[in-house]
Amino acid sequence: MAGPRALVAEPSVPISNAVKRFLEQSGYEVAVVHFIDEAVLQSRKVDPAVVFTSVSGTFDGEALCGKLKKLKPHCPVVLTYPPEEELMIERATRAGADAWLISPLKKAQVVSVAHAMVRQHGLTLRVEHLEADLQKARTQAAAHSGTNTHDLSFFKKFLGMEIKRSRRYQYPLAFLMVALDQLELRMLKLSSSDEAKAAIRAEALGLASGLLRDIDLCVPFTDDRLLVFLPHTPREGAMTVASRLVARLSRLQTFEGGTASAGLATYDPKLAPKTSVGFGSLMREASLNLRLAQEAGGNRVETSPAPAAPRRDRVSIA
């Protein structure tokens, strides 16, 4: 399997050969160029995961950095300065570089910086893909006011990935089922048309999405219910969001006089490290709490009691 691609833009043949050797010994595919225009052209061809370039009286690596950032904004660029340079931090920051080194270069320095830049590049691309998927899901949810199988499938997949990350990185998450109280009964009494119901659902989805962060996900579930997933959200924060959603949805222009309720399910791996959690368990807990909220009169949020903090065993040493 081919390793990450690196581009070395360096006018000095001995230095470029040394950096190339350092990187290749660590599993990188390395391309070497000696001119700025050649570096720009090569970056178009190889799409490097990291670029090393120098700043000297004969080679303007800072200008090259600017050109590469315009061409590929997320491509990490490492600038190398001569030892007599005292303002390398300010200059590298002003040039838009991601890191900087001082010559003479050592293998450990070059390889460690390269590894860090490649990880940064990979994480940036992953975030962009997730944001694109999330935006696609939001667009599809806004276009369809009723239950959409594709939206729900993406919701389950996204939730499953976040649960795994939650366990690994020990951050909390929350799951909401939000409902417009007695929507079908009110529509029946008012003899409302299907178009009126669709307008209510569309407005509810739009208002709910407007209250959420970019990392949150909201999809329609049934005619009168929405599912909301809140990663990186503790129990208290989720209650605040749920209360705001209920208050906002109770003021729908297309559902005048109606109210909303929400059932909340939360998961914190620090408080419940051995608890098995998934879409089904969160769904059941949120649905049960929603039913309790509506049976209590609606226009409220219900959640389960907070789990007790795990007991820590103590060892006394005499």
Q: Are 112 and 68 contained in the same domain?
A: yes
Q: Which of 110, 107, 108, 84 is nearest to 99 (CA)?
A: 110
Select the more confidently predicted residue: 65 or 224.
65
Please indicate, yes or no, whether residues 103 and 232 belong to a single structural domain of this protein: no
Would you say 35 and 10 are in contact if contact means Cβ atoms under 8 Å apart? no
For residue 192 the two structure tokens come to 């409302």
Selected residue with higher pLDDT from 317 and 13: 13
Task: Check whether residue 76 and residue 150 sit in a common domain.
Answer: no
Assess if residue 129 is contained within a domain: no
For residue 178, list its beta bridge partners: 226, 262
Do 203 and 255 have their domain in common?
A: yes
Query: For residue 133, is it within any domain?
Result: no
212/115 same-domain check: no
131, part of any domain: no
Residue-wise pLDDT tens digits, 153-172: 888 998 999 999 998 999 99
Which helix (H) or strand (E) segment holds residue 197: the answer is helix 194-211
Number of domains in the chain: 2
CATH code for the domain in which residue 256 is found: 3.30.70.270
Q: Which of 78, 94, 123 is the last residue of a domain?
A: 123
Confidence (pLDDT) at 17? 94
For position 64, what pLDDT does the model report? Answer: 94
Segment 107-150, tens digit of pLDDT:
999 999 999 998 888 888 787 777 776 666 555 555 444 444 45
pLDDT per position as a tens digit, 284-315: 999 999 999 999 999 999 999 877 666 655 55
Q: Nearest 5°: CA angle at 16, between 11 and 17? A: 135
> Which of the two residues, 152 and 175, has the higher pLDDT score?
175
Tell me whether residue 30 is in a domain.
yes
Q: What is the pLDDT of residue 201?
A: 81
Residue 280 lies in a domain: yes
Residue type, 202: A
Q: For residues 90 and 205, state if they share a domain.
A: no
Q: Which range is least confidently modeled, 30-34, 50-54, 162-166, 310-314?
A: 310-314
pLDDT at 310: 60
Q: What is the pLDDT of residue 145?
A: 42
pLDDT one-digit tens code per residue, 199-231: 788 888 888 888 999 889 999 888 889 999 999
What confidence score (pLDDT) does residue 210 get? 87
Residue 151, domain extent: 144-303
pLDDT of residue 228: 95
pLDDT given for residue 317 in this prediction: 56
Instruction: Give yes or no: residues 117 and 50 share one domain.
Output: yes
In this structure, the answer to whether residues 214 and 291 fall within a common structural domain is yes
Q: Are strands 99-102 and 217-222 parallel, antiparallel or unpaired?
A: unpaired
The residue with greater pLDDT, 167 or 2, is 167
Which of 88, 123, 158 delimits the end of a domain?
A: 123
Q: Can you give the pLDDT at residue 147?
A: 41
- Final residue of a domain: which of 93, 123, 153? 123
Asked whether the predicted pLDDT for residue 194 surpasses 70, the reply is: no
Q: Are 92 and 223 in the same domain?
A: no
Does residue 295 form part of some domain? yes
Tell me, yes or no, whether 107 lies in a domain. yes
Q: What angle do CA 52, 57, 59 make, to 5 degrees?
A: 35
Residues 191 and 149 in one domain: yes
Domain harbouring 39, CATH code:
3.40.50.2300
Residues 182 and 223 occupy one common structural domain: yes
Both 241 and 97 in a single domain? no
Give the mean model confidence (pLDDT) for residues 44-65: 91
